[in-house]
Each structure stands twice: as structure tokens, then as C-alpha cells.
Structure 1
Amino acid sequence: MNTSTAKPVVLLRPAPQRRDRIFTPQALAALHELFTVVDLEDTPGDEMFDRHLPEAFAIIGQPDLGAERLAKARKLKALINVEGNFFPNVDYAAAFSRGVRVLGCGSAYSQAVAEYSLGLAIDLARGISNQDGAMRAGSEKYVSESNTDAVLLHRATVGILGYGNLGRSLHRLLQPFHNTVRIYDPWLPPAVIEDTGGIAAGLEETLSSSQFVYVLATATADSAHLLDGPALDLLQQGARLVLVSRAAVVDYDALLDRLVAGRFLAAIDVWPLEPVPHDSPFRGLPNVVLSPHRAGGITQAFHSIGEMVVDDLTLMARGLAPVRLQAAAPELVGRYRNKPVT
């Protein structure tokens, strides 16, 4: 593969994503027109990657990049994660010290996840999928008799755990519902939250004061099992819990115990083990809306990743700063404890 052209070299190894899932034919053509693309999606091993690494202007994907390997990437300007999670397989301090921009595509999923979260909350409020199942089984009840535990999302108290891309996108969608929204995010000063119309609150207040709770927090060493048994016990009787963020944030054994006891209702899109075992007790609970990790992974979101990559690499090749991808913060990126979504 000849990379002697004057065009900047881009190494494409998008795993666990796939090239054709995130790049439309038009976006991929634009990438090839502007850059010398070394496509390694179907190239096993590291020989080709390491051969072209010293020439690379950017890497699309997140292969293992320790300090020694990064030292060989003398021309590298950008490491672009196209999966949505920053993994602990990169020496981020070394990357930043060499002036490499670490960029992520998490914002591409935010609207899709926000809309799905809102849909799950409305389902929990009105029992839509529950009554669909009842009708299919021939056990439905009609009119008010099927609405004994239904509630309105309108003017309900809402809690949001985590106020990054997902939390902010959801908050915007909730505006027509005129909710009182409490937000727990220890990485943000209260003023940032209050400027968006939310109420900055601690974890206990957010959980105990909210009829609807959305879990949108990222996985870090500090947030592991943030929702353990005592935290879940703070939820109101009959509360609606929407889990669309990282499974590591929740103690699923404690969650199961409280759902079996009928303490509250839950919609769950992320699981500690995926696929969920066929004999999982969660499958048989009537107060749970089950979802197989599908909130963000829609075609429009995937295609927006490729478009963001092309746009920002084009800017960087012109000596300008990226504007569409999200720059990782040196102080935070090493704290994430994310696993690839397969």
C-alpha cells in the first residue's frame, strides 16, 4: 500500500464498530478523497498497523496504544474513538503530552438515547407494552380498569443521574412536560445545572424526591454500584426507574430484589451480562420493561459518526480545531471504566 502521497495518512481500524456501519458510501468516498486511508478493518494482527503508524496523521478506532507505541506515531494529531466509550487501553497521558487530540463520538448517540429514554418513561407511566402483552395473551382489561397504576409524566418530579450529552439531550425533550427536574452530577458545579433550569441536588435528594428517575451516568471507579441496595431504597413506592446508561452503575442483585418486592417499576436497556441469559428472573417480572441495549444504536446515529469524523479531520488537515467530535478531558478520560458494546 503506497502512502507516499502528500495527503495525510489516516489509519482506519474501527473495531468493534464496522466501517460500513458508520460511514455512508458518500462519507467514505470523501474520506478517501481527502486522505490516504490505510484500511485495516480486515487485516489481522498488528504488522500493517505498526508499519504505517509513524506516518499516521489520525487513527480512527481505538487499538492498543501504550506509551512506547505512541512514541512511534511521530505525526499523529488525532485518536478518534468511534465506538462511544473511551477504553483503558491507551496511555492517555502520553497522548496528551505529545499533543494528540483524543476525540470521541458519544454525542452522536445522545438524541437517540434521549428519545428512547422518554419513550420508556411514558411506557412505564401508562403501561403500554404491559397491556400489549395482556391483549396478546387474552387477559386484557378495558378503560379505567387497565389504568389503576397509570400516572402522568406531565408535571411529575424527575431525577436525572448524570448530566453529560445524554442527560442534557433528555432534559431538552422534557421541557413540554413542565417537570421539576433534579440533577445529580458530581462533576459539575451547581451553576451549570441551574443555568439549564434544573435543580442541582445530591444523590439522596434526587432519588427520594423523584417519581421518575433516569440513570444516565457514565461508568467510573467512583460510580460503580452507585445505585446499591440502600440507594434503591430511597426511591418512592411506585417510582419509575429508567436505566439506559452503564450497567456497572447499578447493583442488579439489589435491583432484582426490590423489583420482585414490587417497590417500583423499571425499564432496563443495559445489562451486566449481554445477551441476557434466557433464564434471567428479570424476564418474568411484570413491573419491568425489557430492552436489549438498543437505545442509541440506530442507523442515523451510526452514520452521524462517520460524518463527524470526516468533518473534523477535514478541519484538522487545514490546521483548524475539530468542532463536531467531543474532545476528551485529560482530567477525566482515565477515570472511565467502560467496556465495548458488541
Structure 2
Amino acid sequence: MTARRTPVAAFAMRPDLPEQLFGADELAALARVADIDTGLTITDFGTAPAALLDAVEVLITGWGAPRIGAAELERMPRLRAIVHAAGTVKGHIDDAVWERGLLVTSAASANAYPVAEYTLAMILLAGKRVPDYIRGYAADPSAYAQEPDPAIGNFGRTVGIVGASRVGRRVIELLQPFDIDVLLYDPYLAPGDPVLRSAQPVSLDELFDRSTIVSVHAPLLPETIGMIGAAQLDLLPDGATLINTARAPIVDQEALTAAVRDRGLRAVLDVTDPEPLPAGHPLRTFPGVVLTPHVAGALGTELRRLGECALHEVERFSAGEPAEHPVTKEALTAVA
């Protein structure tokens, strides 16, 4: 086994983030496995202490991290690892990082938990038509005095999951205790993928044709922009629900607006284009639509899970062990 060593590390992120990501115990644990000034956060490599950049071996990055390209790497000759305490690294990693062969890790798996929990909640609430009640019951209780729609309920409901991403897989896992049939569309699924024990693989059109609730968890790639359009939405029964916690451009927003307006389709959208929607946009007024301000991902106490993930990666690096959640340049072409 490789001997444990103490690498020089530094935070590179928004200055308020370290104390949200790491509690006192986590900061102490980090200081035991890395030589780090936990009170210093790099927000601009151009103004960071030259001595620190010359010595740093591990950068712990997060939201607001300055971009790392060839010029920055020249100032950090000893840098060997970038441990990202958030999801995607696309926003701050240049090709020069891959060309130099640095280790890059991500906390995307940790961030999948709150997104999946939000999605599970919305699926169950949508099945009970709770979003409708939230908007309408307070305004006019008499409108809900009659017997409820016999289609309401989650027993035997069919839910379609678009994308076997980290979040999509976690949602499928969370749905297992419920009497819900799960369909899954992902063109990259291997025949023996373990997720297929819990979900039936189908084509995209079949998923929309058979589901009454569809949740989107595909990555935003050139080929997924507008992947869900009028043709797919027309396959959903009237009153079905589309949930999107992924990226707004995956769904044709104009087609979705028309489907909500013309057929009573319901939508739960944590992402829109633009974000937020402008005043007067129809999706802000339709009774079948729930809009939330991009809150599905890690917030508040959930940030500690991202910090724990980053801490564990630094511990593994210090011990000479392989990373648990490495990111490669090739993998970035198929993830959010």
C-alpha cells in the first residue's frame, strides 16, 4: 500500500461556501489529511498568493470556482488533483487539465440524492393531484366538494423515467417501495444493467404513450436538446404530468406550453428557459403548472453531503488510494 502523505491543498470556490460545505469536524478531518489553510479561499488565480499556487497539489473546488486553464496550470506546477464539491465540472475545467493528466473528481453522486428526493415527492403529490389543490382549493373550496376524480392515486400508476443518470437511477430506487410500475428510456443502457431489475426498458415514444407521470433526468447534450417535443407530449393522456429537474432545453418549452393550454397537461418544472420565466409567461399562470426556483439540487443542510464527498476524496488521495468518483474527459460527453 502507498504510504500516506500530506498534500498541500486549497479551496477554490465562492468565499462563503467552505463553511456551508464543511462543519467544524469535517474541517478538522480535512486538516489532518492535507496541509490547508481552511480560512483562505481562492476566488481568482490572478490574485491568489503565488507561494500557495506554486505549492498546491489539491484544489477543492465548488460553485463559483475560477476557471482552470493552461495559464492557471502554469502557475500551479505541482497540482495533481481537482476535487469538486459539486456536480458538473464543465464550468471550470479546460482541456488543459485533461492534457496534463490531472485527477478530477466530482460530488455529482451526492448531489443526486436531493434531486431524486424532490422528484419522488413531486411524483407522489402529482399522483394525488395535490398541485391542483394547492392552487385551487384555497381560492374556491366548493369546487372540491364533489367526489374526487377516480384516476387520482398512486396505486398501479405508471411512471416513466427519461435517463438512467445518477438521479434517474436514484429515483427508480426510491420508487421501489411503492405500487408503481416504472418505465425507463435510455439509449445507452447495457442489457445486463442492474437498473433493469427495477424498471422496464422502452423506447421514448412508448414511455410517453404508457405513462401518466414522466420525469426527465437526461443530460443536456446536443442530441438531447428538444428531445421531448410535441410528438412525445401528444402521446401523454390528457391531465398527465411532466416533471423536469434536469435541464430546460431538453423539453421543447413552446410545445409544453401548448400541451398545458390545449390538453390540460400538468407540469412540475424546477428548470425553465429562461430562468426565471418572464412576467406574463403562460406557464406562470396555468393552474396545472408548478414552478420552483431550481431548488431540487443540494441546498442548505444538503451541502454537507457534497462536502463529505469531497473530504473522502481528499482522504483517499492522501492515502494513495484510487478516487471513488473520478471524472474523465470522455465521460463529460455523456453527462450533464
The residue aligned with 1:3 is: none
Q: Does 1:20 align with 2:19?
A: yes
| Structure 2 residue matching 1:136: 3-state secondary structure | coil
> Which digits, 9 at most, give the CA deviation of each residue in 1:79-123, with x for residues without a partner?
12223222254234x434433221111111222222211211222
The gaps in structure 2 that reach 5 residues or longer are none
* Structure 1 position 319, deviation (Å): 0.7
* Structure 1 position 29, deviation (Å): 2.8
4+ residue segments displaced more than 6 Å: none
1:41 maps to a residue whose letter is T
Whole-Å separation in 2 of the counterparts to 1:194 and 1:320:
28
1:196 maps to a residue whose letter is R
Instruction: Indicate conservation of the 8 Å contact 1:124/1:266, yes or no.
Output: no
Q: Choose 38-47 or 94-103, whichever is displaced more.
A: 38-47
Instruction: Indicate conservation of the 8 Å contact 1:183/1:193, yes or no.
Output: no
Q: Does 1:155 align with 2:153?
A: no
Q: 1:9–1:252: structure 2 CA closer, same or farther, 3 Å change rule?
A: same
The residue aligned with 2:47 is: 47
Paired positions, count: 328
* Structure 1 position 317, deviation (Å): 0.7
Q: Does 1:29 align with 2:32?
A: no
* Structure 1 position 215, deviation (Å): 0.4
1:79 maps to a residue whose letter is I
Whole-Å separation in 2 of the counterparts to 1:167 and 1:201:
15
Q: 1:131–1:255: structure 2 CA closer, same or farther, 3 Å change rule?
A: same
Whole-Å separation in 1 of the counterparts to 2:92 and 2:112:
24
2:185 maps to a residue whose letter is Y
Instruction: Indicate conservation of the 8 Å contact 1:11/1:49, yes or no.
Output: no
Whole-Å separation in 2 of the counterparts to 1:17 and 1:82:
13
Q: Does 1:86 align with 2:85?
A: no
| Structure 2 residue matching 1:315: 3-state secondary structure | helix
Instruction: Indicate conservation of the 8 Å contact 2:267/2:290, yes or no.
Output: yes
The residue aligned with 1:60 is: 60
Whole-Å separation in 1 of the counterparts to 2:283 and 2:15:
28
1:8 maps to a residue whose letter is P
The gaps in structure 1 that reach 5 residues or longer are 1-5
Instruction: Indicate conservation of the 8 Å contact 2:6/2:318, yes or no.
Output: no
The residue aligned with 1:291 is: 292
> Which digits, 9 at most, give the CA deviation of each residue in 1:129-187, with x for residues without a partner?
32233332244434543x22742222222211111211111111111223332211223
Q: Does 1:333 align with 2:336?
A: no
Q: 1:188–1:72: structure 2 CA closer, same or farther, 3 Å change rule?
A: farther
Instruction: Indicate conservation of the 8 Å contact 2:33/2:314, yes or no.
Output: no
Q: 1:91–1:125: structure 2 CA closer, same or farther, 3 Å change rule?
A: same
1:332 maps to a residue whose letter is A
The residue aligned with 1:101 is: 103
The residue aligned with 1:255 is: 256
Instruction: Indicate conservation of the 8 Å contact 1:182/1:201, yes or no.
Output: yes
Instruction: Indicate conservation of the 8 Å contact 1:131/1:140, yes or no.
Output: no
| Structure 2 residue matching 1:79: 3-state secondary structure | strand
* Structure 1 position 40, deviation (Å): 5.0
Instruction: Indicate conservation of the 8 Å contact 1:193/1:199, yes or no.
Output: no
Structure 2 length normalisation: TM-score?
0.87
| Structure 2 residue matching 1:80: 3-state secondary structure | strand
| Structure 1 residue matching 2:301: 3-state secondary structure | helix
Give the fraction of aligned pairs with identical amino acids, expressed as a percent. 28
Instruction: Indicate conservation of the 8 Å contact 2:115/2:245, yes or no.
Output: yes
Instruction: Indicate conservation of the 8 Å contact 2:155/2:179, yes or no.
Output: yes
Q: 1:295–1:200: structure 2 CA closer, same or farther, 3 Å change rule?
A: same
Whole-Å separation in 1 of the counterparts to 2:223 and 2:35:
41
Matches within 5 A, 1:1-342: 7-15=6-14, 18-38=17-37, 40-41=40-41, 43-44=43-44, 46-48=46-48, 52-61=52-61, 62-92=65-95, 94-142=96-144, 144-145=146-147, 147-148=148-149, 150-192=151-193, 195-323=196-324, 326-334=325-333
